[in-house]
Structure 1
Amino acid sequence: MYVYLLTNPNRTVLYIGVTSNLPRRLEEHSNNLGNHGKFTGRYQANLLVYFELLPDPTQAIAREKELKGWSRAKKEKLIIGFNPKWEAIDLDTWTGPANNL
């Protein structure tokens, strides 16, 4: 299970989600761009900047809730520690922390 953070092109919005299939979920977010009924579509938040792999759904959901309770500053520190330039992560070419794949 994955917990992930998305942002928009201006890096002003953060979205936190949980999924068992990160590539599929990212595609779904991208397909909803411009869909004002969806948070990620309304705010154009489809750029993956952080993710964690957790062993089971219970832990993933708990981690998602934990991150959602954090301040923006604390979330930014988490992202910077993982992805210092806030680059959009391409899962096919990602060379970041090995324990996150």
Structure 2
Amino acid sequence: MTLIEPWESIEQGEQFETELLREVSESHPLYGKEITAIARRFDCDDVLFQVAGGEKTYFVVVHLTWKMKVEAKGYPCCEFFESLKEFETKRMTHDHKMY
């Protein structure tokens, strides 16, 4: 996948993965999932994660809060995508136009 501004790839995503795991509560849809940070918006705290395991792999953009603790119910905010192509079409292209 070729990223366009304001998205950039993440080579060492452990800090984003660790923060996401800190923020999600047991009721969050990403709780207990196997996640890998693959890209981020350099102008805000949105991170694209790949979610593996279960029936299939999917992708999610999460707005991290960096509070370093469990967030209230419903947070952190997420936007789910079935594929990278869907992310490119519905999110990344829009973000680029608005940037």
| Structure number having the greater strand percentage | 2
TM-score normalised to structure 2 length: 0.30
Question: By percentage of residues, which structure has more helix?
Answer: 1
In the superposition, the TM-score normalised over structure 1's length comes to 0.30
